[in-house]
């Protein structure tokens, strides 16, 4: 008997009496989405900037990141100096200082942003960059994860990730350190 | 060779009084963060009920869901393998590595691969497996096993870690600043990520409906590894399934909050297809799970989502350390999972509890952990020759459990006592494993007397 068959046979023999599948949950909408979102994001180590135009993001980058550093932008209106669409081996992204990406939606309860594969081109980009900027539209904010999973089709693409903050660890005596392996910062620009 | 009992191993741990206290307090702090976080969610109990019921559904439809998962995963281009036991799991991994001529392997935290002893197996075959979770890397250098399922190096102090890093990655002697040490590990592991051609990960949730799976990390190490390497091998216990993607709403809201109090892990990665030109494998592992499924009293232990909350809250775990359990999954959940694997070897674990019920109270999937501990005690008492003192403790526990009202009250008291004066309960002479480990032949006071007396104070 194959291992699959023997595992399934053992399950058949041992499985408990059928129990029903619970209905999906829904809870009241959060009235102050932006405020709640900011709290959620900062709780996980990210920071929120509210801006009115994409130009403000460009200005921020120019003020904070030296010209010669490698920057990859997949957001229209924000200039980078490498074109990730022309890169075939993700290892070539090793020295990217900043990645600028468009988020699909944000979740107020925890700051999480849904980032499908099509928004990152290379799956490793949001992780390998030293710093990460995500642009998020205000009207994509949702109250909680239940709402997010109703909107997002997790298998539309081969890969997708909820990003809720920069890379962090507390494995040494529970002291929080930002910048474990991935981005040392996450800045979310919220736009109208 | 006689295996060390939990009490003997715990005695080792508590020899260092200051460290025991520090360990205890650190974990209690994590537990408090969990409480704060849970209290911030008005629908918390609804989430727990729903998670528990969803897992009931999963366990009672496991066969169908696994087949559905496999069909959908195959359609996604994932190669699916089945493993009856640890040996077969390891052989699958080895074969994949051989077939793909892999030389460098990075791994992100996976309790299942610990359970299967994968690292040792691969090392024997000449592979060097690099654990990339910071805590895991630390203990890998120290040639230790994780002492906690979420916080693998929680038993070590920063000075210890400074020493370990000095020896292995050349940090400055005596350096113990967590920021400095983490930065050094970052530089060291970045090289490993870039060099790796295979990445091994665990799985937090497998989605039957879509044939994909979710991996949760804060460090982003699972993603750094899998997206750079050409081969991704995901190792998943068959109980990790959930029926629908929408069920993730419930589980992701509970997992990180229960684990450390944070609202969600910073990365919750959903894998459905291999990236173009790459390969993705998933190994579905039984290794005793189907047997546990058939044990009416213990099947609920398979609902566990490995958040670690029951460890952080457990007065015994906090004071005896993860190693005292001598099993891959320590703490309360480990004490109900392990006896199913080897009743004799793990016969002392179900006794490593005050039966205060705090574990069941915090468990996000509402496993009746403390009741199962009690039931294992009965099984063990009937089937092995436990020493007399434990039989006595059983009687005491039996008395309380037989009287629901009394038990409830006692439970409440215990929970308060845990917070205020934990020692009063934990180190009481009624407990086989507290400080006064040599239980007198006859208890000085019955539980009832103890209760009567303590109620007044
Ligand atoms: S038994 Fe419950 S509390 Fe313990 S690790 Fe599992 S899910 Fe968490």
Which has the closest alpha carbon to B298: B331, B325, B336? B336
Average pLDDT value for residue range B45-72: 98
A74: CB partners within 8 A, 6+ apart: A84, A99, A100, A101, A102, A119, A120, A121
Share of chain B above pLDDT 90, in %: 69
Residue B235 bridge partners (DSSP): B283
B266/A167 Cβ within 8 A: yes
Q: Looking at residue B384, what is its pLDDT?
A: 73
C-alpha B323: how far from its chain's center? Answer: 12
- Please answer whether residues B79 and B284 qualify as being in contact, where contact means their C-beta atoms are separated by less than 8 angstroms: no
A-B CB pairs within 8 A amount to 254
**Looking at residue B16, what is its pLDDT?**
87
Q: Which ligand 1 atom is the nearest neighbour of the CA of B306?
A: 5
Give A90's contacts in chain B (Cβ within 8 Å). Answer: 227-228
Strand ranges (E), B87-197: 105-107, 129-131
Please give the pLDDT value at position B68.
Answer: 98
- A53 touching B, CB under 8 A? no
Band of residue B441 on the pLDDT scale cut at 50, 70, 90: very low
A157: which chain B residues are within 8 Å (Cβ-Cβ)? 272-273
Minimal Cα distance from B238: which residue of A? Answer: A7
Q: Is the pLDDT of residue B375 over 50?
A: yes
Report percent pLDDT > 70 for chain B: 83
Mean pLDDT of chain A: 97
Q: Is the ipTM of this complex over 0.90?
A: yes
Which residues, numbered 178 to 207 in chain B, qualify as contacts with chain A under a Cβ-Cβ cut-off of 8 Å?
178-179, 181-183, 185-186, 189-190, 193-194, 207
Report the alpha-carbon distance of residue A39 to residue A131 in Å, rounded: 20
Asked if the Cβ–Cβ distance from A155 to B76 is below 8 Å, we say: yes
pLDDT of res. B250: 98
Q: Is a pLDDT exceeding 50 seen at residue B42?
A: yes
Q: Who among B54, B219, B290 is closest to A11 (CB)? A: B290
Q: Given the CA of residue B301, which atom of ligand 1 is nearest to it? A: 1
Ligand 1, atom 4: closest residue by C-alpha: B310
Q: Is B414 in the pocket of ligand 1 (CB under 6 A)?
A: no
- Is B266 close to A168, i.e. CB distance below 8 A? yes
For residue B407, name the pLDDT band (cuts at 50, 70, 90): very low
Q: What are phi and psi of A72, to 5 degrees?
A: -115, 120
Contacts of B224 in chain A (CB under 8 A): 124, 127-128, 181-182
**From the CB of B308, is ligand 1 less than 6 Å away?**
yes
Contact (CB<8Å) B50/A25: yes
- Chain B CB contacts of A105 below 8 Å: none
Integer Cα distance of A88 and B387 in angstroms: 66
pLDDT of B413: 45
Give pLDDT tens digits for A40-53: 999 999 999 999 99
Cα–Cα distance, B35 to B308 (Å, whole number):
14
Q: Is the Cβ atom of B363 under 6 angstroms away from ligand 1?
A: yes
Q: With pLDDT > 90 as the criterion, what percentage of chain A qualifies?
A: 99
Distance between CA A158 and CA B385 in Å, rounded?
54
Determine whether the shortest distance from the Cβ of B252 to ligand 1 is under 6 A.
no
Other CB atoms within a 10 A radius of the CB of residue B455 amount to 10
Instruction: Give CA–CA dist B197/B200, Å, rounded.
Output: 10
Our mutation pick for probing the ligand 1 site, out of B310, B311, B327, B364, counting the most ligand atoms within 8 A of Cβ, is: B310
H or E element: which one contains A51? strand A47-51
**Interval B267-325: pLDDT, tens:** 999 999 999 999 999 999 999 999 999 999 999 999 999 999 999 999 999 988 898 88
Any A CB within 8 A of B132 CB: yes
Q: Residue range A178-185: average pLDDT? A: 96
In angstroms, the separation between the Cα of residue A24 and the nearest Cα of chain B is: 7
Task: Name the token pair of B21.
Answer: 């206290």
B116 has a pLDDT exceeding 90: yes
**Confidence at residue B15, expressed as pLDDT on a 0 to 100 scale:** 86
CA distances (Å), A152 to each of B78, B120, B151, in order?
21, 40, 31
Instruction: Please tell me the predicted confidence (pLDDT) of residue B439.
Output: 35
Residue B415 scores a pLDDT above 90: no
State how far residue A154 is from chain B, nearest Cα, in angstroms.
7
Residue-wise pLDDT for B190-231, tens only, equals 999 999 999 999 999 999 999 999 999 999 999 999 999 999
Three-state SS annotation for B295-323 = CCCCHHHHHCCCCCHHHHHCHHHHHHCHH
- CA distances B29 to B35, B106, B261, Å, are 10, 31, 10
* B295-321 burial code (b ≥16 CB/10 A, e <16): beebbbbbbbbbbbbbbbbbbbbbbbb
B457: pLDDT strictly greater than 60? no
B58 CA distance to ligand 1 centroid (A)?
A: 17
Cross-chain Cβ contact A11/B66 below 8 Å: yes
Angstrom distance (rounded) from CA A87 to CA B8: 58
> Has residue B399 got a pLDDT over 80?
no
What distance in Å separates the CA atoms of residue B240 and residue B115, rounded to the nearest whole number? 15
Q: For B331-372, write each residue's pLDDT tens digit.
A: 999 998 889 888 888 988 998 888 999 999 999 999 999 999
Comparing alpha-carbon positions, the chain A residue that sits nearest to B221 is: A181
pLDDT (tens digit per residue) in A56-74 = 999 999 999 999 999 999 9
Helix ranges (H only) for B300-446 are 309-313, 315-320, 331-341, 358-362, 369-383, 388-402, 404-420, 422-426
**Average pLDDT value over all residues in chain B:** 87
Residue A88 at interface with chain B, using a CB cutoff of 8 Å: no
Question: For residue A2, how many other CB atoms are within 10 A of its CB?
Answer: 9
């Amino acid at each position: 008997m194959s291992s699959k068959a023997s595992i399934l046979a053992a399950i058949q023999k041992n499985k408990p009496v059928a129990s029903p599948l619970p209905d999906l949950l829904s809870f009241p909408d959060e009235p102050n989405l932006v405020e709640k979102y900011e709290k959620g994001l900062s709780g996980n180590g990210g920071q929120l900037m509210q801006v009115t135009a994409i130009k403000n993001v460009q200005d921020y980058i120019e003020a904070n990141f030296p010209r010669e550093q490698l920057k990859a932008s997949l957001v229209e209106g924000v200039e980078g100096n490498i074109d990730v669409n022309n890169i075939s081996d993700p290892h070539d992204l090793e020295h990217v200082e900043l990645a600028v990406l468009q988020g699909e939606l944000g979740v107020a309860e925890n700051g999480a942003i849904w980032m499908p594969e099509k928004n990152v081109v290379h799956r490793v980009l949001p992780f390998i960059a030293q710093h990460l900027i995500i642009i998020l539209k205000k009207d994509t904010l949702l109250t909680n994860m239940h709402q997010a999973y109703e909107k997002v089709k997790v298998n539309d693409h081969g890969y997708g990730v909820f990003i809720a903050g920069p890379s962090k660890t507390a494995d040494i005596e529970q002291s929080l350190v930002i910048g474990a392996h991935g981005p040392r910062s996450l800045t979310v620009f919220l736009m109208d | 060779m006689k295996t060390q009992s939990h009490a003997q191993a715990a005695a080792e741990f508590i020899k260092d009084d200051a460290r025991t206290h520090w360990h205890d307090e650190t974990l209690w702090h994590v537990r408090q963060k969990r409480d704060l976080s849970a209290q911030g969610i008005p629908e918390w109990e609804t989430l727990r009920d729903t998670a528990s019921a969803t897992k009931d559904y999963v366990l009672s439809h496991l066969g169908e869901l696994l087949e559905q998962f496999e069909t959908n995963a195959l359609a996604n281009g994932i190669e699916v393998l089945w493993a009856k036991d640890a040996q077969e799991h390891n052989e699958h991994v080895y074969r994949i590595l051989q077939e793909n001529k892999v030389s460098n392997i990075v791994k992100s935290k996976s309790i299942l691969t610990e359970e299967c002893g994968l690292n040792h197996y691969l090392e024997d075959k000449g592979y060097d497996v690099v654990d990339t979770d910071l805590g895991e890397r630390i203990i890998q250098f120290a040639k230790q096993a994780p002492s906690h399922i979420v916080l693998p190096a929680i038993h070590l102090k920063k000075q210890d870690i400074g020493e370990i890093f000095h020896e292995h990655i050349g940090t400055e002697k005596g350096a113990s600043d967590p920021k400095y040490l983490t930065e050094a590990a970052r530089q060291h592991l970045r090289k490993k990520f870039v060099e790796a051609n295979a990445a091994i990960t665990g799985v937090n949730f497998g989605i039957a409906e879509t044939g994909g799976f979710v991996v949760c990390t804060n460090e982003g190490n699972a993603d750094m590894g899998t997206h750079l390497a050409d081969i991704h091998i995901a190792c998943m216990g068959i109980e990790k399934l959930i029926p629908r993607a929408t069920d993730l709403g419930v589980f992701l809201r509970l997992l990180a909050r229960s684990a450390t109090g944070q609202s969600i892990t910073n990365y919750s990665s959903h894998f459905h297809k291999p990236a173009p030109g790459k390969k993705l494998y998933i190994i579905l592992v039984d290794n005793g799970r189907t047997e546990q499924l058939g044990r009416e009293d213990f099947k609920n232990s398979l609902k566990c989502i490995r958040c670690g909350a029951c460890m952080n809250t457990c007065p015994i775990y906090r004071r005896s350390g993860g190693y005292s359990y001598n099993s891959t999954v320590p703490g309360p959940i480990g004490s109900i999972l392990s006896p199913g694997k080897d009743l004799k070897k793990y016969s002392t674990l179900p006794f490593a509890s005050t039966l205060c019920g705090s574990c069941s109270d915090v468990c996000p999937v509402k496993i009746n952990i403390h009741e199962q501990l009690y039931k294992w005690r009965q099984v063990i008492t009937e089937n092995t020759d436990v020493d007399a003192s434990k039989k006595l403790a059983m009687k005491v526990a039996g008395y309380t459990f037989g009287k629901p009202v009394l038990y409830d009250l006692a439970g409440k008291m215990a929970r308060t006592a845990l917070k205020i004066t934990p020692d009063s309960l934990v180190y009481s002479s009624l407990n086989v494993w507290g400080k006064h480990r040599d239980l007198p032949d006859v208890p000085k006071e019955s539980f009832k007397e103890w209760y009567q007396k303590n109620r007044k104070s």
